[in-house]
Amino acid sequence: MRRYGVWFALALLTPYLVFFGGGWFGIYVSQIRIVSLILLVAVFGAWAIAAWRNPGWRPRSALTPAIVVILLAMAASTLVSRY
């Protein structure tokens, strides 16, 4: 059942990412950018909990530190933005 929940969440978040979060609105409208970052934190938080409980979910990529740095930079730029 959890597997279907994960696929359902991916099916909902992918169109959001393509049409809003990664489009003009997601870049230039600060409210949508904040929502995008909150969704991102929620998804990665859920994944982190799953990875903590089940070692099979843990990352096995050399790019993981770079991805984390990029996400932290996006969060920091949103927090200090005047908009």
Whole-model pTM: value is 0.53
- Is residue 55 within 8 A of residue 61, CB to CB? The reply is no
Confidence of residue 70 (pLDDT cuts 50, 70, 90): very high
Q: Within its chain, how far is the Cα of 20 from the centroid?
A: 13
Residue 13 has pLDDT above 90, yes or no: no
* 14/80: higher pLDDT: 80
Per-residue pLDDT band for 69 (boundaries 50, 70, 90) equals very high
> Could you tell me if 26 and 33 are in contact, meaning their C-beta atoms sit under 8 angstroms apart?
yes
Contact 83, 28 (CB under 8 A): no
**DSSP strands (E only) in 1-83:** none
- What's the pLDDT tens digit per position in 15-58? 777 777 666 766 677 777 787 778 878 888 888 898 899 988 88
CA dihedral angle for residue 29, residue 31, residue 35, residue 41, rounded to 10 degrees:
90
